[in-house]
Each structure stands twice: as structure tokens, then as C-alpha cells.
Chains A and B, each alone.
Chain A
């Protein structure tokens, strides 16, 4: 692992981190007290967990982000469908307390194993898979109003960065101009106490969907020619990638341009980067980039770039349904450009991947397509 959060976090323990831990610990004890007090008073113990559902997500038009509403759901011990989750919530709360006590961090998978054991007197395991564990941790984040890193948990690394920027990650200075062909892999936690920006010459950020496209750009030294930062999120970008983009955008004022596939999935990725997602609506103010731009691929490109028939991937029923859903998102609904774009996709009747531009020329996308679009300021908001 490139990153050793446990050791380094020790060396960089600042006052603010200690304060943060104290606050987290406080809310964990509150949670436990809630259980024991109600139980001893012979009432049914339950947790109130903010709902991470569409119905409890509010579109803040003014700020241009999705926010979580006030709706909560109850998690009860004496409910057949919730008893196990209740137990799992308690287990993870206790694990987090342990982590804070020893000042160490665990991955999501690590947390799954920390909580994993056989329930006393049975053959049943506390968690049947990591998904169960991940869900419970998100519940804890939301109900305690704490971020994942505040709970001493990090996610799997995902996403890559390269470009004209020097950062300090856990005390190590990293020059992102000298990252070879692989690039700097973006950690799960990129909060200011872990990562600081030391020097940045770049003028903008180009975020592409997948590492294959990213590789193309890196090999063509796109970031050198255009003085920018090049990132990729491996499909749906993780929280770490989104947080980094958001910080580059807000702290360094860099515009974020996204190069994604021309299909409902690409549109959805853009929507998440720009406005936030339903399940992580509670973190939108930290993750969403209302400023982000969508430069392609556009439905009009088939004709404009004179692509061959071969690049068409026909829309299936599910795609059509999904496209209509996305068109109805409130943040797209009032955007005429997007309505036209999605309409264009539907009337085309096919999808196009970024790689389809390669049919024109290997470096068409880096040498002609993106530069032209940037120059012409031809993008969608």
C-alpha cells in the first residue's frame, strides 16, 4: 500500500484531529447511552437513522447541490427485519471506539473483518458480506453526522491524477508531474489534514471517465501541452476523487471539465460530480461541484465528427428508461442544454463511448476533439 495512514496520522496529529476524535467519541457514547438507557427503562431501544432515499433528498436550487432532508427511519431491535442490523450498528460503533483509542485507521474491508465473528452460541456470522458492513458504516456516518475519516475509516483507493501540481500527502511531497505512466493514485481521504496543495501551475482539470482514456491523454502529454491536471475516476468516481476535484475547484479555483461517455451512465456520473448523489446527499456540500462542465461526448458528435456507423451501441429499454429518469432530475429539468442533449441521445437511438473517437485517429481525442471544444467553450453546464 502506498499510503500508511496509521503511522503518519500519529506524526501529524494536530490539535484539530484530537478535537475531532473527541467529538466523534462523544457521539458514539451518546449512541450507546441511548440504547442502554431505553433498555434499562424497559423501553424498546432504537436508532433514528436519517433516510438516504430519493424522497428524503432535497434539491437546493440556489446552491446547485442535492441535500439530505430531515426524514429519519427507525432501526429497532425488536423488529425481525432490523434486529441483525441493530446488532451490527452496535458492533461497528464499538469498533470505531477502539480505532479512536489506538489512533489507527481501517479500510472498509478491514472494518468488515474487525466486526466479523460468530454470534455467541450460534453458527451465524455477524456480517454475511462486506456490503452489509459498508451499509452500516454509512448509516453510522449519517446518524452521527460524522465523515468517514472522522470515524477512522477509509475506502479502497480508486482514481488517478497527473499534472502540473505538487501536493503533500501525509507529510510526503509529491510532484504530480513526475508520476510516469501510472500516475498518482488518489487516496480515499484527501482532507486538508492529510493532503495539502503546495504548488499548482495548472489552469484547469480534465476529468475522464476511465483509465483507458486517461492513459491516452497521459501518453500524449496532454496535461503538459495544455497545462492542466488530468484525473480519472474509474467509472463512478469515489468519494476521494470527488472530494479532491471539489477542493481543486473551490480552493484553487480550477474549472473542472468532464469527458464522459455519451450514455445515461455517463450523464449520471456527471450529475453525481456536479450535484451530489442521493445516497451521499449528506456530504454534498463537501463533494458536489456545481461548477463542473460536461465537454463530451455529445450526441451531436456522431454527425459533427463524422463518426462511422460502427461506433453505435444501440440503446436498450433500460437505457431509454434511465435516460428519461435523468431528464426528469430537477437539476436537469430546467437546463435546456441538457434536455436537448438527452433528447439527442434518444433520437439517435444509440450510445457512444469516448473511445469511439479513436476510430477517427488514435490521438484525435487529445489533439483535436478536446482542444477544439475547450477553445470553442462548447460544453454543457
Chain B
């Protein structure tokens, strides 16, 4: 600022005034100013403009810190080919603060089982802003700028004066490094305040933070060394505010778990929430709230409810999978890592003129005497030798023309030719979509619904950048029926929590005609019903509307793809709903006949003394024949249909979804999601099919046991594969059984004849009837 005003100084008017003033105080001269002019450290800049990095209020600071650390952990694990296991611990360091306190001091620790960081890189990774591998390349990854975690550390330092604490163990056989870093904002360098070797990784202290962590670690399920042989742990102390609800850490992790079914995420929330405050509204305003959202769920607070293990998160809305003593565990849904993505060169159609000029300059500098012909082929994708020479010809150059000889008008012409050329679209192997199977696995994990469908589009191109859209929907079950559906958005597997209505995906959802799929939809807005809509955009460069990376820009190409993906899901839902209606009618029909046959037999036999059993059987046989369709469906998942009946009245009681209340609920009991997961794994990727998942009764002794065994074998990843795969094979082998009932332990349809009594299948017991 001061520099620019200096330039204006010599103008006549201001010169006069300065002369007058100069009498009192000596004015700055070019020399004195020059002394003050120096480099602005990027770190210093961001320290003063923290809102640009998502630290604009205490609540968002907590979220952003968790988000940056988790994004880094996921990226690191994936690059190293490790299935991510991430634990987030938020400790309240001022638990005795008055209830009205708007913020508190927290220590946020994020532990991963990634490859760890070699000692000499620690300062660079955590202590420098704009240090990273992701910024300059066109590669699909979560982070892009490389400012996240170091900015969080800096925020902590500014608000609490405490350095960032890092433990990292790159080799399981060697001790871990314990390093404490304080960022020097002036030099953009980290200062190491402590550097020692330790065997305490993951930190034992964390196992004793809450009753829940004690309980879990007692069973070896929380931060055990076996699960974290290598990895990194980052602790940042900061002044912030922890609250649940929209835009919270809980929501972020919940959605991250959905988009990353290969990751296991554990969250230990602080013992209490901060006082609710009005200035939180901007956060909440960003996304339209739905009824299913739990803002302040007292059950989630282990202090007000010591036996939180018995309670379940609110039954409506997307919910976490398990909760033990306040610790939320989002289990792993699939055991495959997403494919590794390739880096690509820019596509000619996707660059700006300025970028082209810069690229020419850079090429000239690196390749002395390099030709334009070579430049075009090397620095762009999809430019063949033939098209390179065509470009050269068109701008009046030859294949031997050197880059250094290209004049500015020629470059401009080249840029125009790029736009008009007919080049093949950029390669798409640089994208790693989540995939239909994993989308389903992720949704199953996070949303208690009854119907799930997913669709993955082919890769497309906007402005020369490849992208791919995926959509998935979850319907019914415990989702709130009378509310606007909830849209959850992701870009490169990262949840987008704010500015929903500015996002292209929101517009795509509103523009899709959901009425065609038997759903209600007010004009121009989201459909209404028990529906969660998930949209994921994978791209080498996601066009965000702003630096805060909260909404996807509304490009026609992108919105069109989103709509097509949604329509595909919608069609599946429509088919399912129609089919469900039909099956319901049929089974009602059968139900009615069978219901009255007993009465008729009794009455007729009382009149004429006919053999009641014979008559009953004869009538039943006829009834069965007449409702053969219902019979067919009943064998597969007929009972399920009966269970859904309350839905028709807007009642959302799904039997078994609410825990039976048994005190011995295992920490990671087999949940509906887990059972359903077996099914997902059994299904083929190319055929997502229709799915409806039935809840498993939890808490009753037998099932709990089986649940525990499944859970405990899940410990080390390698051994976990076997037990999960076995039932998978079994399910897959069943002929013509796309729709195997998920309620595996609840014994789906036994072979002996069942009759429906009051909506429940009971074995036919003739003796009972007479």
C-alpha cells in the first residue's frame, strides 16, 4: 500500500499539501520508505488474513484444522497404498469454563497410519506455507495449494502460543520422532523447539481421554500400535469452538466417511459443546437445514448421559455407524484403495493466453533452442505430431521454428487455433472416481435408508479439463419423510459443507424432475421425501466458485453430467418404488385371503362338521396359487415389505434399527451397514442393481456375539479380509439372488412355509388355529 502511494506523491496537489504538513513533521522520503519496503512473508500475510484459509471464526477454525489434517492423512495413506485408519481426538483443555463461554481452548490431534514423514522433511511439511507437491500439477488430489496444515499450526500458535506437536514413525521397527514446531511468520520457516526420539506412538495418553476411549482401547480397538505401525500424529492447540450440527467436525467426518469408504475414521469429540451463539448463523445459513439434522443431541454428550453406549445417535438423518461412550467410529466399508491417479499435461483447450505465454517462456528457459513443434507435443496432452505441425502451419511457422522466435501476436493466434481445433478430449485415466460399488458402500455406512442407488458417469471435459460426475441416492428407512431431501456434495472426495445453493450440484438436483420417479417436488426446489442425494465431482482441477472451496462453479457441461447421473439414480428409485407398491399390493392380497381362511374353516366346520384341517389346507393351497407373485417376492424379501408399511403413514419405525437396549452392546457390533456391506461386496461392480437393506436387530445376545467376532477380526487389515470375503462369496454364488436380504443373521426367508400374521412371518402351525 505504502509503495503505491509513494508513486503518486509527485502530483501537484498532493505535493502542495505535503509541503504544508512537512512543517510539522518530516515527511517520508523515497529513501526512508525504501528502508521499510521488504518482502512480505506469505506466512505473515496469512496470519493477518486468516479468513482466506477458513479460520474466520472460532468454530470454523476447529473444523478447518481437522479438515486439513484429515485431508493430508488420506492423501498420504493413498499415495503409500495403505488403507487409511484415522483417529481424530478433540480435547477440551478448559473443561471447567463457565457454561456461557463462547469458546474454549482445544487440543486437536489427528493420528493416521500413513507412511510417516522422514525426519528432515518434517519442518517443510508442517512449517512452511505454500510448500507442497500438489499446486503445480494437474492431478486429482484432495488438497491443492499446500497451505492447509501449516496454516492451522500457525493459527494455533497465534491464539495459544503453543507450538505444533508432531510424532511420526516412518519405519515400524524404529522409534518415532517427536518434534515440536513453532512457525516463524517472518521467515516463513518453522523453528524446532523440541526434537527427540520416542516409542510413544501412537500417544498412549490419548487412550485415557474419555470413558469411551478407555473402553475401546481396553478391547484393543483404539489407537493400538498394531493398527498404527507407521504413521503421523499432529497435535495443535487452538482457541476455538466445538459444536455439532451443520458445518461441524462431526458432519465433515461423517461425509468424509461416506466418500471414502476405504477409510476407517474414529472421532473422540470433546466432553462438552461450546455455548450456542448467535454469530454461528452465517455458518448455518450456508446450507439449508433439514429436520433430520441433530444440532444439539444431548445423547452425544457422554457427561450428561454416562451410559451413552446404550444410546444411539438420533434415528433420523444420516447417522454414524457406532458410538461407544461418545466415541464415534465410522468403520471401513471396502478394503480396496482407490486407484492411483496419473498426472496429466494441460489440454490445449483448457489454458488461458497468459498461461500459454508463461509456458512458452518457461520452455525457452529450460530447453535452449527448443522448437514450437516439440513444445506443443511435450507440454500438452493429446497433441500428436500431426496436429502439432498443423498448429505450426496455421500460425505461419514451421516445425523448425524455435519457441524463442514466436512473437506475441503469433502466440495469440496459436491460442485462438487451440480453441478452434478438433483435438481428442484429454485422457481420463487421471481420474479416480469413487465407483458405484464404493459409493453404495459409503452411503450404506453413513445413511440408514432402505433403498440405495448409485451411478457413475463417463468422464467428460470442461475447459479442457477432464472431470467425472458420480451420484448416489439413499431413500426411505430412517430418513425424515416430510422434509426436503438432503444434498451432500463432494469434490475429489472432500465434503463441501457450505454455500450449497451456490453450487452447481444443488442446481442440478433442483432441475431434475423427481416427480417422474414418484417423489414430490415443489417447483424449482429440492425433492421432498426421505431422500439423501450425493454428488461427487472428480477432476484434476475442480472449479470452485471461490478460494474457500465451498461450491462448484456452474459450468453447463458439469451441470448436464450431474443431471444425467441423478436421472439414472432416479429411474432406479422409481422402478423400485413401483415394484415395492406392486409387491405390497400382492402381499396384502395374500394376507387378506390367508387371514380369513382360518375363520371360514372354523365356521363352516361348525355348521356341517367337515374336517377342518383338510378344508383349511385346501383353501390355503388355492390362496397360494392365486397370489403366486406375492409368494415369489415374499421368499426373497417379502417380510421386508411388510416392515416398510409404516412408511406409508409417515411413521419411521424400522424394527431393529433402534437398539434392543442390551447393556452388553459390543463396541463395534455388527450393524445394519456392516451386514449390508457384505451384500455390496457380493454384488458386481458393473451392476449396481437395486438394493434394499433391512435392519438387523441389535443387542440380543446371539447376534451380538456374531457381531463381536466380525468386529474383532477386523483389527489388523490383512486378517480382516478373509472373514469378510467368505460370506461375500456365498452371497454372490446364490443364483438369481441380486436382492439377497441383508439381514443375514436375522434369518431371511426360511424354507418351511411361512404365513404372514399381522405383518410377521410365522411358521404355519395348524394346531394353533383350531
Contact = CB atoms under 8 A, between A and B. Distances in A.
Interface of A: 28-29, 31-33, 35-36, 39-40, 42, 44-45, 77-78, 80, 83-84, 86-87, 90-91, 93-94, 97, 119-124, 126
B718 interface: no
A58 B580 CA distance: 48
B746 interface: no
A32 B608 contact: yes
B418 interface: no
Residue in A32, A36, A84, A126 with the greatest tally of chain B CB atoms within 10 Å = A36
Given A39-B622, A121-B757, A77 B610 contact: no
A84 B592 contact: yes
A44 B595 CA distance: 17
B231 to A, nearest CB: 57
B600 A35 contact: yes
29 contacts: A28-B607, A32-B610, A33-B608, A35-B600, A39-B615, A39-B619, A40-B614, A42-B622, A44-B622, A45-B619, A77-B600, A77-B619, A78-B622, A83-B593, A84-B592, A84-B596, A86-B596, A87-B599, A87-B600, A90-B600, A91-B603, A94-B603, A94-B604, A119-B595, A119-B598, A119-B599, A120-B599, A120-B769, A121-B762
Contacts of A83: 592-593, 596
B618 A40 contact: yes
B591 to A, nearest CB: 9
A45 B597 CA distance: 11
Given A77-B596, A84-B596, A86-B600, A97 B758 contact: no
A315 to B, nearest CB: 44
Nearest to A95: B603
Q: Is the interface of A mostly helix, strand, loop or mixed?
A: helix
A121 B765 CA distance: 11
Contacts of A29: 607-608
Interface in B582-634: 589, 592-593, 595-600, 602-608, 610, 614-615, 618-619, 621-623, 626
A78 B623 contact: yes
Contacts of A87: 596, 599-600, 603
B75 to A, nearest CB: 57
Nearest to A98: B606
A77 B592 CA distance: 10
A93 B605 CA distance: 11
B753 to A, nearest CB: 15
Q: Which 10 A-B pairs have the closest CB atoms?
A: A121-B757, A32-B607, A90-B603, A87-B596, A94-B603, A32-B608, A36-B610, A39-B618, A32-B604, A94-B606
B599 A126 contact: yes
Contacts of B605: 36
Interface centre among B597, B598, B605, B622 (most CB of A within 10 A): B622
B57 to A, nearest CB: 55
B626 A97 contact: no
Contacts of A120: 598-599, 769
Nearest to A36: B610
A125 B89 CA distance: 57
B593 A78 contact: yes
Given A28-B607, A36-B610, 14 more contacts: A36-B605, A44-B622, A45-B619, A77-B593, A80-B592, A83-B592, A83-B593, A84-B596, A87-B599, A94-B606, A120-B769, A121-B758, A122-B595, A122-B757
Contacts of A33: 608, 610
A119 B597 CA distance: 10
Interface string B687-702: 0000000000000000
B606 A97 contact: yes
Nearest to B620: A39
A123 B759 CA distance: 10
A101 to B, nearest CB: 10
Contact of A123 (B619, B626, B758): B758
B615 A90 contact: no
Contacts of B597: 77
B607 to A, nearest CB: 4
A124 B756 CA distance: 14
B670 to A, nearest CB: 31
Contacts of A119: 595-596, 598-599
Contacts of B595: 119, 121-122, 124
Contacts of B593: 77-78, 83
A122 B607 contact: no
B608 A36 contact: yes
A147 B430 CA distance: 88
Contacts of A80: 589, 592
A86 B762 CA distance: 25
Interface centre among B614, B618, B621, B626 (most CB of A within 10 A): B618
A34 B758 CA distance: 30
A93 B769 contact: no
A97 B602 CA distance: 13
Nearest to B769: A120
Contacts of B626: 78
Nearest to A37: B610
Nearest to A123: B758
B619 A93 contact: no
Contacts of B608: 29, 32-33, 36
B758 to A, nearest CB: 5
B607 A97 contact: yes
Contacts of A121: 595, 598, 757-758, 762
Contacts of B762: 121
B598 to A, nearest CB: 5
Nearest to B762: A121
Nearest to A45: B619
Interface string B735-759: 0000000000000000000000110
| Listed residue (A78, A97, A119, A124) with the most chain B CB atoms within 10 angstroms of its CB | A78
Given A44-B622, A83-B593, A91 B607 contact: no
Contacts of B603: 32, 87, 90-91, 93-94
Contacts of A40: 610, 614-615, 618
A75 to B, nearest CB: 12
A81 to B, nearest CB: 10
A166 B607 CA distance: 41
Contacts of A124: 595
Which of B593, B595, B598, B599 lies at the interface centre, i.e. has the most chain A CB atoms within 10 A of its CB?
B599
Given A80-B589, A119-B595, A122-B595, A90 B758 contact: no
Contacts of A42: 618, 621-622
A93 B595 CA distance: 19
Nearest to A25: B607
